[in-house]
Each structure stands twice: as structure tokens, then as C-alpha cells.
Amino acid sequence: MDRLSGLLAFARTAELGSFVAAGRVLGLSASAVGKSVARLEQELGVRLLQRSTRRIGLTEEGSLFNERVRRILDDIDDAEAMLSRTRETPHGRLRVSTPIVTYHILLPVLPAFMARYPDIELDIDFNDHIVDIIEEGIDVAIRSGDLPDSRLLARPLGPFRLHLCAAPSYLERHGVPATPDDLRYHLGIRFRFPNSGKVQEWPLTMGAEVETRTVLTCNNMEALKGATISGLGIGCMPDFLVRDALAAGTLRSLLDEHVDGSGQFRMLWPSNRYLSPKVRVFIDFLSEKFSGER
């Protein structure tokens, strides 16, 4: 504590230019502040302050030392603020941006979150367009794919897998593909990414994209699922979207041994020094529910 007291006395004196002013802020006498700084200089073996009858200034060594001391004291302030916030009851409006299709995995767990944190008001934007999290004031975003923005921090939410699927009625008319090469004789329902406008490639292990005759392209996974169940063609969708349909037999999974469709959702948030309680508990809650689940 003596070393920390010396650093505080030095930093306040450097900031305010006098022992009297520093003592007033620290609740000490000017003499006590001066002695604390003198002990610090003695321990370091270097003069930090240039004293005069009118004002106290920094020596060259003192200026360099002051820069580092300010960072240390700022980190201590941040640590204290973080601990203080952890004692707060999480509350307030929490803005979340997430792809439309994720309502299948989020809605079943949200009642438990709201029961645990009744003072948090969730404002969820289910939207496939990628928004600027910082510019739009978003607290947490859920995304998959590449994460190029260095201003954001990320935590894995949970893996998923993509499946090629078709309805039994479609397979009765067109046959069941036995190899990826057979897909060239089939009809494809394709997903177009809303932001890039690119059409999703089917994740086949053979490497090159196999061209089907595309009968429908859309930018909504729910619409793609509906068109596939209707028997219009073969679609590529995440496991959590088609799990019930596969179990009910309204869709069949195709070429599983030739599909390498692993994917990963992540939670993103601005890289502040610390998380607000509402953001921290939301991230921790979803991590608890989904990380490594599938």
C-alpha cells in the first residue's frame, strides 16, 4: 500500500502542480504528500519532480514515469468499476441483433432468461442484414461466418451443421442422389445472402460446387424450408431448422457422408474495457445453454 500511496501522491502532484492541491484531493497534508513522493524518488533512485517556489513540474524521467503510472491507476479504477458493476442488479433495455432463423434456438430459452433477470427488457431485431453494431447501438449481436471487425469481441455460441434435404414427394419424382455428381440432374433451391448478394455454396466434400438447375432463389431460410417441404427441389439448411421435419419424415437428409457443413454462431459485442451487467449475464446465459450443445 505504501508503494501505491506514493504513486497516487506523485500522479496527483504531477497533475495539479503542487503538493497543497494534491493533498486537498487526497485528504492529506501538503507535507505528507511531499514526503510520500520523496520516498518514491528515493526507492527509484531518480528525481521525478522539479520543485520551485512557484510551481512543481516534471523532470524528463518524471514525465515518462507519469505516463506509465497513469495507465496503472486507470486500470485500477477500471477494475474497481468492474467489481462495482458486478454487484448491480442487471437491468435496462438490452438490444440484440440476430439472424431471422435463430428464433428457433433462442425463443425456447428466453423465458428462463427473463424469469432469472426480470429487470432486463429484451429488444431483439431478427434480421438477416448485417448492421454496424457500434453505430446502431447494439449491445449483443449473433452472427456466423467471418468476423473481420477488430472493434468487436466474440464468444462462441454453439456449432451447427448444414444438411442437404428434400421432401419425399420430390424424391419419388426425381430419385434419390447417390453421389454428389448425381446432383447435376436435380433441382436446387438456393439461399442468397442478404448483405453480399452471393448464393450459398453447398458444402460438398468433393470440393467443387456441383451445379443443379436452380428453380428458386430466396434470401430467407424459412421460405427455403417451406419450398423444400413443398417438393420444389433440394435445399441446404441448418440442423436446428430442419430437425423437426426430419424427425416427422416431411424432409429427408441427403448425401450425409459427402456433406461437410459445419458452422459456428458467435456472440459479438463492442470491445469496451468491461461489460455492463445486462450484457454480461446475457452472454453468460446463452453460453451456458448452447456452447457445445450440438
Domain ranges in the chain are 2-86, 91-294
What mean pLDDT do residues 98-117 have? 93
Most confident of the following: 65-74, 133-142, 214-223: 214-223
| 91 within 8 A of 139, measured Cβ to Cβ | no
pLDDT value of position 218: 94
Is residue 260 very low, low, confident or very high in pLDDT (cuts 50, 70, 90)? confident
Residue 154: pLDDT over 60: yes
Tell me what the mean pLDDT of segment 164-190 comes to. Answer: 95
H or E stretch at 174: helix 168-174
pLDDT at 137: 84
Q: What is the pLDDT of residue 146?
A: 66
- CATH class, domain 91-294, is alpha beta
CATH, domain range 2-86: 1.10.10.10
Residue 200 contacts residue 176 (beta carbons within 8 Å) = no
Checking if the pLDDT of 294 tops 60, the result is: no
Look at residues 155, 159, 158 and name the one whose alpha carbon lies nearest to residue 284: 155
CA 210, CA 180: separation in Å to the nearest integer?
7
Least confident of 80-84, 90-94, 193-197, 279-283: 80-84
pLDDT tens track for 208-232:
567 789 999 999 999 999 999 999 9
66 pLDDT above the threshold of 80: yes
Average pLDDT over residues 145-174: 86
Bridge partners, 222 (sequence order): none
Mean pLDDT across the chain = 87
| Residue in 289, 285, 287 with CA at minimum distance from that of residue 116 | 285
- pLDDT-derived band of residue 86, with 50, 70 and 90 as boundaries? low
Look up cell 440432374; give the residue: 185
Q: Give 231's DSSP letter.
A: T
